[in-house]
Amino acid sequence: MALSSRWTLSQVTELFEKPLLELLFEAQQIHRRHFDPRQVQVSTLLSIKTGACPEDCKYCPQSARYSTGLRAEKLMAVQQVLESARRAKAAGSTRFCMGAAWKNPHERDMPLLEQMVAGVKAMGLEACMTLGALSESQAQRLARAGLDYYNHNLDTSPEFYGNIITTRSYQERLETLEKVRDAGIKVCSGGIVGLGETAKDRAGLLLQLANLPTPPESVPINMLVKVKGTPLADNDDVDAFDFIRTIAAARIVMPTSWIRLSAGREQMNEQTQAMCFMAGANSVFYGCRLLTTPNPGEDKDLHLFRRLGLNPQQTAVAAGNSEQQRRLEQVLATPDTDAYYNAAAQ
C-alpha cells in the first residue's frame, strides 16, 4: 500500500518533543474544530473466539505459544453474540466490536460471521470486527453483510515491529487495511504504547497511520496490559505523560479520526484519563473486559463521564430495515447446532 506524504517523521517527532502543555493546547484546538469536545463515542468489544492463536505477538495472552492460563474457547454461537450486542446497546454502546483470535478466518467461518454482522446491524448498532488478515473476497462479503468498521492494528513502527511479531509482516498488515478500504469498510487501526519502543517508534507508528491514502476513521491507542506468561510481562510501566503525548500527537496528525482510549484504562487513574480526553481522545471501549483483559465497568465510566462533563454519543444508526429485522428474528429463533464447531482447533 502506497503511503502519502502528508507528514514527515521529523514533523511527528517534533510533536513528541514539544512542551506538554503546548502540545495539549494545540491538540485540543484541533479537536474542537472537528468534534464536539464534550462527546465521547462508546464501543463494546466481545471476544467471539478466544485463545489458540498461532501468531507470536509478544504482548498477547491469546497466543498458543505462551502459557498464560487462558483457556481456548470455540467460536461463539450467533445467538449468544447477538444477545451480548443487545446488552451492549442497552448499556449505551453505539458500536459493537467482535474479535476472534485467528491469523485469518477460514471460509467455513464466513456464513456465521456474516450472520453476526447482519444481526448487530439490525439492532441499530454499528458493527466492527477484528479477525486477523482478510482476503479480498472475505472483505467484500463482510461489506455486503453490512460491516461498518474493520480493526487491524499496525501495533508499532515498521522499524520496531520485528521485535514484537515475526509471524505476520508489516506489509501484510498494510495489505489487509487496503483490502478493507477497497471493500468500502471503514478502517480502525492503531497501536500499543509500552512494548519497549522509543518515542521515535511512537512517532513512526502515527506517521504510518496518518500517511495512509485515507487515514483510519478510528484509531485505538492501547497501553500495554502486562500478562504473566507473555514475553513482555516484565516490561517497564508506561509513563502517564508519555501516553498522553501519544494521544495528543495522534489527534494532531489525524484531526478527523476518532481517537480511542483502548486497552490499559483499568491501570490508569481518573486524572490520566481526563488528560487523555483533553489531549483529543473521544472514544472508549465500554464494559468490564476487552477480549481477555480487565476494563473499567460501565458504572465507573459513567461516573467519570459525569465528573468530566462528557456525554456518551447517542445511537446514530437507525434500526435495521425490515429484511434485516426478519433475518435477526430468524437467527435468534434457530437453536444451536453442530454448525458451531470448535474453531479453537487449528
Choosing from 95, 260, 265, 327, the catalytic residue is 260
Contact present, 37 and 31 (Cβ < 8 Å): yes
The verdict on whether 288 is a catalytic residue reads no
Ligand-binding annotation for 128, yes or no, is yes
- By the 10 Å C-beta count (0-12 exposed, 13-18 middle, 19+ buried), 279 is classed as buried
Choosing from 53, 95, 202, 327, the catalytic residue is 53
The verdict on whether 188 is a catalytic residue reads yes
Assigned C-alpha cell, 323: 429484511
Ligand-binding annotation for 38, yes or no, is no
Contact present, 119 and 82 (Cβ < 8 Å): yes
Across 307-324, b (16+ Cβ under 10 Å) vs e yields eeebebbebeeeebeeeb
Ligand-binding annotation for 53, yes or no, is yes
Please state, in angstroms and rounded to a whole number, the distance separating the CA atoms of residues 335 and 346: 25
DSSP 320: P
Cα dihedral value 223, 228, 233, 238, nearest 10? 30
The verdict on whether 53 is a catalytic residue reads yes
The verdict on whether 276 is a catalytic residue reads no
- Cβ-based neighbours of 148, under 8 Å, separated by 6 or more: 95, 121, 126, 127, 128, 185, 186
The verdict on whether 128 is a catalytic residue reads yes
Ligand-binding annotation for 288, yes or no, is no
Ligand-binding annotation for 60, yes or no, is yes
Choosing from 32, 33, 38, 57, the catalytic residue is 57
Choosing from 128, 245, 265, 276, the catalytic residue is 128
The verdict on whether 97 is a catalytic residue reads yes
Instruction: Give the chain's end-to-end CA distance (angstroms, integer).
Output: 30
Cβ neighbours of 5 (radius 10 Å)? 6
Assigned C-alpha cell, 322: 425490515
Choosing from 97, 202, 245, 327, the catalytic residue is 97
Choosing from 95, 141, 181, 188, the catalytic residue is 188
Binding residues for [4Fe-4S] cluster: 53, 57, 60
Which residue ranges are tagged as binding site?
A: 53, 57, 60, 97, 128, 188, 260
**Which segments are annotated as binding site for [2Fe-2S] cluster?**
97, 128, 188, 260
Q: Which residues are catalytic?
A: 53, 57, 60, 97, 128, 188, 260
